Amino acid sequence: MKQTRKSFLTTSLLAAGYAALPFKPVFALGKGSSKMKFRFTPYTLELRHVFTIASNSRSTTPVVLTEIEYDGIIGYGEASMPPYLGESHQTVTDFYKKVNLEQFNNPFELENILTYIDNIDHKNCAAKAGIDIALHDLIGKLMNQPLYNIWGFDKTKTPNTTYTIGIDKPDVVRQKVKEAAEFKLLKVKLGRDTDKEMIETIRSVTDKPLTADANQGWKDKQFALDMLHYLHEKGVVVIEQPMDKDNIDDHAWLKERSPIPIIADEGCQRLVDIPRIHHAYHGINIKLMKSTGLREAHKMLDLARALGMKVMLGCMTETSCAISAASHLSPMVDWADLDGALLISNDVYDGTKVIDGRVTLNDRPGIGVVKK
Amino acid sequence: MKQTRKSFLTTSLLAAGYAALPFKPVFALGKGSSKMKFRFTPYTLELRHVFTIASNSRSTTPVVLTEIEYDGIIGYGEASMPPYLGESHQTVTDFYKKVNLEQFNNPFELENILTYIDNIDHKNCAAKAGIDIALHDLIGKLMNQPLYNIWGFDKTKTPNTTYTIGIDKPDVVRQKVKEAAEFKLLKVKLGRDTDKEMIETIRSVTDKPLTADANQGWKDKQFALDMLHYLHEKGVVVIEQPMDKDNIDDHAWLKERSPIPIIADEGCQRLVDIPRIHHAYHGINIKLMKSTGLREAHKMLDLARALGMKVMLGCMTETSCAISAASHLSPMVDWADLDGALLISNDVYDGTKVIDGRVTLNDRPGIGVVKK
């Protein structure tokens, strides 16, 4: 006989000696004497290719893997620290040594806990994200639901992800494009004097739509506008951060004239930045390591939408832990750039996958990862 | 032997023949063949006192009580239709006859379902709220968690609620103030030529802080400013909707000069209104019957905060169903005006209570109500 959930629960609870009051919280989560236990482990990601953007090259990324344990359930998190963001194994470790989660009895009180975390220091956005992600994973597991269900999103509406082609020699670029056959959208790193060469090289092997990221590399607004017209003709559909993040006026000038949407990346870190810059960009790139994690990222998504802005969801080089966390927001964004775990050779988690170029959520609770 | 939640679940599942995979969604909610069943019942609330505001008087309020059943679990909701909002038993019933929730397999897909509901007609905000609230109650029960936990709020941070003193003769006003001894804050309805008399009458029996609501009743900005200075001197801490909702410029003028915060009520119905009016008011009054329910109310809360605005959480005359729903947002607001269920004599639900003047959340899942 097929049991309904309710009758099954009731039967189980009666068997266990619980009173069968309908809807009485069954396990009284967060009200017992359990404490949250926080652990962290520095780790170094090995990149499959040396990665070059406008400002630097590198072959590894330091991360710190986190765990928050409560009542026998473990939530996983991650802080990723590409060096240009000013965080490192040392700064994240120093930050985490100041964290005391045992003062909180209820892991569901995210607003309290994450406000406390945010107030420890005004920097350390990636370190904060490492705690936010583990907490979200934990509460998802405690509620036995994937985050996308808790947030009311539709897992079938996930977007294709872009796959990033770093700045490199033409032969290497062509090779990378061929390796990216699965992806429906490629992301091109620009902002150097080789920009047109990069585009021509890619266009010599594929006509897929492209997204572009100048990483503040263009110094002059008229040059930037000329580039945007050129890129538009070449099938680039959106551009990130054409010029210096502090040059808001020139971005506003460019926004009025650009043939394609302009997205703030370095120019928009957190929620508080959006009202300040929203007249100067068509949209924002939300990344958990900038936003301090999922809770503020979700608020940024809602704020951007309320202001009529486009939303891109990005990442650093990260394991499948932080990538999976971000992926639960992806049904609500215009563009996803969640290839971070695909660019490394030593992932330690199995989670959200890219299948046929598309961000593909699984049914596991929380952020949906298991250790490999 | 005390069982942890995990070992208890595992034991129960093994007993029921389920594989004991940790964190595998246990009941596969929303993935079976269950369909959501939607029911509704028109009902008329009887007010304890004839209620007079600037524009009208009345002694009843029509509501429609809703239920959404899924997999044996029932979520409760409510639409409340004070006549000045343009909805009625007839309009809500007509709207609900167009609703087909059976097309959705997963009640967790709030964004999909509520977008469908919103697109049925551009009006009918209260009718939409009746569905939104029942869905939130349902998913809270399916996850076995109160909404405040799902949203990450702290149930101990709920505010005092105001208690509304309608416009009436001095004897009646004094009597109402005495009956309101439990409340730490009283809300005064203004906007007629008896405003100063109302304030003097209240001040003859209490020195409690007051909030005031002019319901668009003042016609001239200089008169409004003079009134605000008078009210400030009389211990009024915040004013709602001094002038006509369409007169944004005069509210902006008043905002620059007012000694107390000015809150948009009639002037701010939904999320889309906030960017349009936020320069003209210090804050907004969020009500579920304006916002189409909890999901948009939550987004309005986040948007208002991101823009640096104050937030008041209000209500219509409602049963404890809609009041309890709203109360889960209350830990995040500056002022709560959730006395709607206290003003009626025929409530049909037991839910969030006002205890010693304070909004007091319970531990039940969903919105936290049971039928009386």
Identify all chain A residues contacting B23, using CB atoms and an 8 Å cutoff: 141, 144, 364-366, 370
Distance from CA of A348 to the nearest CA of B (A): 18
Give the span between the Cα atoms of B120 and B105, in whole angstroms: 19
- A325's tokens: 């966390």
Classify residue B122: in a domain, yes or no: yes
How does pLDDT run across A262-311, given as a tens digit for each residue?
999 999 999 999 999 999 999 999 999 999 999 999 999 999 999 999 99
Last-in-domain residue among B105, B126, B145: B145
My answer on whether B198 and B268 are in the same domain is yes
Instruction: Please report where in the chains the tokens 């988690």 appear, as a residue.
Output: A349
> Which of A164, A222, A113, A110 lies closest to A340, judged by CA?
A164
A103: in domain = yes
Kindly determine whether residue A4 and residue B71, on different chains, have CB atoms separated by under 8 Å: yes
pLDDT digits 0-9 by tens, B109-153: 999 999 999 999 999 999 999 999 999 999 999 999 999 999 999
Residue B191 lies in a domain: yes
3-state SS, residue B318: coil
Instruction: Tally A–B CB contacts below 8 A.
Output: 145
Closest Cα in chain A, distance from residue B5 (Å): 6
CA distance A98 to A79: 16
What is the rounded distance in angstroms from the CA atom of residue B53 to the CA atom of residue B166?
6
Token pair for B38: 């939607």
What does the pLDDT read at residue A187? 96
**Å between B352 CA and nearest CA of chain A:** 15
**Taking CB atoms and an 8 Å limit, are A5 and B152 in contact across chains?**
no
Q: Which residues in chain A have their CB less than 8 angstroms from residue B26's CB?
A: 144
Pair (A265, A237) in one structural domain: yes
Residue B31 placed within a domain:
no
Domain finish residue from B145, B161, B185: B145
B288-312 residue pLDDT tens: 999 999 999 999 999 999 999 999 9
Number of domains within chain B = 2
Residue A93: which CATH number? 3.30.390.10
In a domain, A11, yes or no: no
Are residues B27 and A8, on separate chains, in Cβ contact within 8 Å?
yes
Q: Residue B320 belongs to a domain with what CATH number?
A: 3.20.20.120
pLDDT digits (tens, 9 = 90+) for A326-349: 999 999 999 999 999 998 999 999
| CA geometry: angle A37, A29, A115, nearest 5 deg | 55
Which of A146, A174, A198 is the last residue in one of the domains? A146
Alpha-carbon distance B131 to nearest alpha carbon in chain A (angstroms): 15
Q: Examine the domain organization and report whether B99 and B188 are in the same domain.
A: no
For B185-195, write each residue's pLDDT tens digit: 999 999 999 99
- Report which of A353, A293, A295 is spatially closest to residue A66, judged by C-alpha positions: A293
Q: What do you get for the CA distance between the two ends of chain B, in Å?
A: 37
Distance CA A286, CA A337 (A): 10
8 Å CB contact of B153 and A73: no
Mutation pick from B133, B144, B269, B311 vs chain A, by most beta carbons of A within 10 Å, is B144
Comparing CB atoms, the residue among A27, A302, A363 nearest residue B303 is A302
Asked whether residue A48 carries a pLDDT value surpassing 90, the answer given is no
DSSP H/E element including A323: helix A320-327
Choose the closest CB to B16 out of A8, A25, A370. Answer: A8
Distance from the A319 Cα atom to the nearest Cα atom in chain B, whole angstroms: 20
| pLDDT tens figures, A141-153 | 999 999 999 999 9
pLDDT digits (tens, 9 = 90+) for A238-247: 999 999 999 9
Global pTM reads 0.88
Contact residues on chain B for A114, CB-CB shorter than 8 A: 152
* Residue A100 shares a structural domain with residue A154: no
Q: Picking from A172-181, A349-358, B257-266, which range would have the lowest pLDDT averaged per residue? A: A172-181
Is residue B24 scored above 80 in pLDDT? no
Q: Does one domain contain both A174 and A138?
A: no
Kindly state whether residues B197 and B122 are assigned to the same domain.
Answer: no
CA dihedral A135, A139, A145, A148 (to 10 degrees): -40
State the residue range of the domain holding A133.
37-146
Q: State whether B132 and B173 are in the same domain.
A: no
Q: Is residue B18 part of a domain?
A: no
Please name the residue of chain A whose CA is at the shortest distance from the CA of residue B107: A152
In chain B, whose CA is at the least distance from the CA of A21? Answer: B364
